Structure 1
């Protein structure tokens, strides 16, 4: 029997859940043969219709919100479209990442509608910050030891695979990224460290509530796989916890 989804927050307008890694949000023509989706599971669990207002890649885990009525869906959709949302991710990457940096490589869409080379480059901006690191006494690549970093990642735009592409372009691919990463490091984590998945998790989301009375800040704990890895690497102090916090909205400035 499938375990119930973890509900991080719920009221009459929206619900926030922890999306498991490997689970598609909804049906896609790019994933034929898949029979289980987050949208379906959540609808069945709540016994009511739910409306997705943003997306997470299939291999990414973490916090995701759904509206519970069409009006809230429209308001939340506008909030995401206008980038009035603060997103926070944790990523495990190869190498010793920079202490703090802004990545602004323009990205072409990867929606499969036409060749990527024909798509116009679009603005993309990601803030990254190194939180911790580890050096392992194993030769995975050409060096006798291997270094990895824990990165705090905050995308300001929402291009497809933005975080994965930006970090790879900068030279710090996310572990477990089959498309933009390094196969030998991915295999090492899968075979030696029990992590056969993309090590990217959406751990924070802050936005204006669709009712318009306050904001909401959500935090999402890591799944068992990433939690065990953080503990193994001595990164337990960076583990997020499940929480929901109401935020006051500043009144408009007087004119």
Structure 2
């Protein structure tokens, strides 16, 4: 199987200045220590702190199996400001995913979600309470490959651009499962049979979700900052395997 994390290499820095830094997080790397992933011994916060030689503050989160842009503040004050921007929906985020089936050209998903785990906070953030959740889906490419699955002689997949306007836990994973186009490699929200197919046939053991881009206005300079992350190796390998075009739509 492909090795997803190579901690002998420094984290790839996408953006760096005195108050903010962004990395291209590898698939499989936790942002920080978590009681629900006791098997992990290395974390993005720890690795970046050691690499830069200073304390770092993650201003948002990415799932362990999601790769791509992850933004850190380099001071407590900037961390508070940037977290407030995220909370107010002032940070524009774009993801790419490879999903099962042929998706619509474009689609808006307006489907409330419940939190998965108790995580403190106010009543609206606790398990059992529904929160509004919105995601825009745009299909970039579709493919059909001669790989039998179930009663079908072929398998169909889509490369989609996902733009969430809310930031709920596992929002993109749950929304794509809700419209019956689960993200490949997603557990537990995805299709276990498809996940097994990819593991057995392609030796693919990650989730095909990539945080492609974030854009925001810098709170001090008022400069519009856009940070884009190249796909990690495993995502690129699966794109090249499934789709006819060998070029990655990085923009």
Q: TM-score, normalised to structure 2's length?
A: 0.91
Cα shift at 1:33: 3.8
1:23 to 2:29 alignment = yes
Counterparts of 1:74 and 1:117, CA distance in 2: 22
- Number of aligned residue pairs: give it: 240
Cα shift at 1:141: 2.4
> In the superposition, relative to structure 1, how do residues 225 and 70 fare at CA in structure 2: closer, same or farther (>3 Å)?
same
Q: Secondary structure at the match of 1:160?
A: coil
Instruction: Pick from 164, 181, 185 the counterpart of residue 176 of structure 1.
Output: 185
1:228 to 2:231 alignment = no
Q: TM-score, normalised to structure 1's length?
A: 0.89
CA contact (8 A) 1:124 1:159 kept: yes
Cα shift at 1:8: 0.3
1:120 to 2:129 alignment = yes
Cα shift at 1:179: 0.4
Aligned to 1:205: 214
CA RMSD between the two structures: 1.8
> In the superposition, relative to structure 1, how do residues 49 and 106 fare at CA in structure 2: closer, same or farther (>3 Å)?
same
Cα shift at 1:120: 1.5
Aligned to 2:199: 190
User: Following TM superposition, where does structure 1 have runs of at least 4 consecutive aligned residues deviating by more than 6 angstroms?
Assistant: none
Q: Secondary structure at the match of 1:236?
A: coil
1:48 to 2:88 alignment = no
Write out aligned runs for 1:104-119 (5 A).
104-112=110-118, 119=128
Counterparts of 2:27 and 2:237, CA distance in 1: 15
1:65 to 2:71 alignment = yes
Q: Secondary structure at the match of 2:175?
A: helix
